[in-house]
Each structure stands twice: as C-alpha cells, then as structure tokens.
Amino acid sequence: MEKIALISDIHSNMTALEAVLAHIRDTGIRRIVCLGDLVGKGPQPSEAVERIREVCEAVVQGNWDHGIVRPQEKASAQWQQDRLSSEQLAYLGGLPFSFDLWISGRRVRLVHASSDSVYHWITRKADKKEKLSFFDNTAATGPFLDTEDTPDVVGYGDLHVPFMQTLKTKQPRGLVLFNTGSVGAPYDGLPQASYVVLEGMIGERTEAPFSMQWVRIPYDVQREIAIAEEANVPELDRYRYEQLHGREL
C-alpha cells in the first residue's frame, strides 16, 4: 500500500502550506499532487509557486492560475501578478487541466473545478446530473489515460469545502466524488488547512484495498495575518476575516 497527498487552493498562504508539508513529511508520504490555485488572496504568491514546483509531482491548473497571466482589472489580482516573474507566469499558464492515475483498480481523475472548465463552479449542493458531469471525458480532460474509459473516482478543489459523496449508478460500487478542501483559505468554518490522503496500490489496475482520509492541520493564523499586513495585501480586511473564521466574507 502506498499513500499520495492531495493539496489544493494554496492561495499564496505560505504559513498554511508549510504546516501541511511538514505534516505530510512527518507521516512519511513522499508523493504530492496539487489541484490548483497556487496564487491569489494571500501575501506570498511567488514563494507559493516555487514551493509547489519543488514538492509536487503533478500540478493541475486552477482558475487563479489560468487568469493571473492575463491583463488584470482588479487591484488585488494586479498585486498578485506584479509579484510573479515572467517565468512563473508562464509556468502557471501552462499547467495541465487534469491528472489521471490508477489506484487499486480505480480510475482516479483530479481536476480543479469541473470536467470542462476551471471556471465552472459546482457546489456540494448541486444536483446529481451536474455532479455526474465530473465523470465525463471532455475536450479538456481527454480520455482516461490510455483507455477510452471514464473515471470512477474524481477529486477536485475550488470550493474550499471538503466533502465526499458516492453517487449511485448502474456500476456496482457507484462513482465517488470528493473535494480536498483548501490549504490556504478554508471556507467550512474551521480555520485549519485541509488536505486528502489516498492510500492504495498506485498504478495498479486490478482490485485492491483503497482508502481516503481528510486531514486538518492547524497553523499560525495570526502569523499569516501579520505577514499579510506587512505586505500590505489588497483587501486585507477580507483576508484577515477569512483567516480568522474559516469562512468567505
């Protein structure tokens, strides 16, 4: 059995990211995949990009990563863009849309927001039809690896709210949809970083044991707020509120 950590929605929060990476390291996990939104909101976008590039074996593109390379209208987005090098912007703009892998006979697909766009918002309260769209092969995802099959497990970020749901279908075990929650900006009322651990036989196409675990990591929220204050982050009051309360303002 092997473990792989899934992190998402870092949002330039290095305090939370380093706390999560320390826990991943201490538990002996060596493989990490990021589901996007490295930048935005917080005070250290450049540092977050470099750290993710250093530790992750794969990174999919989030809506902030896609949008940050374009001309900006909002001051908060311009502030983020100004702190990224041209090389870092090119890296974010070139990230892949999705990442597929076999684990214990399950076809696992990882995306940021949906199966067709990084800007397509699908909440945990969406209807079943919309949730089932996650399991489609689209022009953005392509087919699952070297098959014509579709995934039977899909993980995503974007919402900043962790959850897992089994969708009943004609398949004997149903389809599993899950959200990792956010490392840097949790929105479920708990101001702690969230990540997911998948455990199984990675790369194995035959049935084997498989598990999923959500991990919440406390981090020094006051220190992160102080860093944001020192950096004079735009929309500082909003960032402070979200860090303190674990909710979107």
3-state secondary structure of 208: coil
231: pLDDT strictly greater than 80: yes
Phi first, then psi: give them for residue 95, nearest 5 degrees.
Answer: -65, 145
**Residue 120 clears pLDDT 80, i.e. is over it:** yes
217 near 195, Cβ under 8 Å?
Answer: yes
Indicate the pTM of the whole model: 0.96
pLDDT attached to residue 168: 80
Average pLDDT, the chain: 96
Average pLDDT over residues 170-176: 81
Q: What angle do CA 169, 172, 177 make, to 5 degrees?
A: 55
* Tens-place pLDDT, residues 126-171: 999 999 999 999 999 999 998 889 999 999 999 999 999 999 877 7
pLDDT of residue 20: 98
Q: What is the pLDDT of residue 106?
A: 96
pLDDT tens sequence across 211-223: 999 999 999 999 9
Average the pLDDT over 48-62 and give the result: 98
pLDDT value for 128: 93
Q: Taking CA 125 as the corner, what is the angle to CA 121 and CA 126, rounded to the nearest 5 degrees?
A: 55
* pLDDT value of residue 200: 98
Q: Which amino acid is at 245?
A: H
DSSP 84-112: S-HHHHHHHHT--S-EEEEETTEEEEE-S
Residue 132, class by beta-carbon neighbours within 10 Å (0-12 exposed, 13-18 middle, 19+ buried)?
A: middle
pLDDT band with cut points at 50, 70 and 90 for residue 174: confident
* pLDDT band of 35, cuts 50, 70, 90: very high
Which pLDDT belongs to residue 15? 98
Domain ranges of the chain: 2-244
Overall CATH class of domain 2-244 = alpha beta
Confidence of residue 184 (pLDDT cuts 50, 70, 90): very high
Confidence at residue 16, expressed as pLDDT on a 0 to 100 scale? 98
**Angstrom distance (rounded) from CA 62 to CA 46:** 16
Decide: 14 and 183 in contact? Cβ < 8 Å.
no
pLDDT tens for each residue of 94-116: 999 999 999 999 999 999 999 99
pLDDT at 140: 97
Closest CA to 11 of 201, 207, 159: 159
